[in-house]
Amino acid sequence: MKKLALNLLLVVAIVGLVFICYRSIMDPIEFTEERKSREKDIIARLIDIRTAQIEYRNYHKGEYTDNFDTLIDFVKTAQMPIVLKVGELNDEQLERGLTEQKALDMIAKAKKTNKWGDVDKEGLRDFRRDTTWIALIDTVYGKGFNADSLKYVPYSDGVVFEMATSCDTTKSGSAQWLFEARTPYETYLTGINDQEMHNLISNQKKLGRYCGLKVGDVEQPNNNSGNWE
């Protein structure tokens, strides 16, 4: 009887060891797979934020914003000019100093005075540059894009990305604006396997890297790159 009990304990111990070995192999693999899956969506969101910031900068004299409500309102309301071009200036006209603006001014003058001699001489009767305005959100992101989602970190139960801006002066004396949006590992990896997450954080700290995902940098220019690129 004692021998049977010992054998059963031995079997249980062996099964336990096998399970421990199995989990020691599978835990990092499963954690990495889930991490990559989640980070794919977070990176996509950070790229959307970067796109919005670049467009915002184009409309605001090179400045970024550190306020998500301001950025989201811009994405929702901004309009982009689309120029319909009909007709092109030839090399001879360009060499004589004729520009598109001069051509348009010539045509505008002809319309006011009803004197089309110079326009006909240059062959500009059909020359047109018509500007229409369309919603930035539809052009940059496509119809159906939810701008309100920009600030939220996926898999975080409503946590907002950290976002900041800074402004330095270049050697030429001009202002250089920088922006950064980021979120730490704890925001979107907690609950998968906390030990593996802590191991990841420890390794990143040893390498001197940010423990999470971010785009841009407020400390130094990096062409708005993400730390995954």
Whether 50 is covered by a domain: the verdict is yes
Asked if residue 48 belongs to a domain, the reply is: yes
Q: Which residue has the higher pLDDT, 211 or 139?
A: 211
- 61: tokens are 């004299």
CA atoms within 13 A on the CB side of 208: 0
End-of-domain residue from the set 116, 138, 160? 138
Q: What's the whole-number mean pLDDT along residues 213-225? A: 95
> Are 124 and 152 contained in the same domain?
no
Residue 172 has a pLDDT of 78
Together in a domain, 155 and 228: yes
Mean per-residue pLDDT of the chain: 88
Q: Is residue 60 part of a domain?
A: yes
**In the predicted model, what is the mean pLDDT of residues 139-153?**
92
Q: Nearest-CA neighbor of 89 among 128, 50, 133?
A: 128
Q: Are residues 64 and 89 in the same domain?
A: no
Place of tokens 């111990």: 13
Indicate if the pLDDT at residue 20 is higher than 50.
Answer: yes
Whether 22 shows a pLDDT value over 50: the answer reads no
Distance between CA atoms of 67 and 80, rounded to whole angstroms? 22
The verdict on 61 and 149 lying in the same domain is yes
Number of domains in the chain: 2
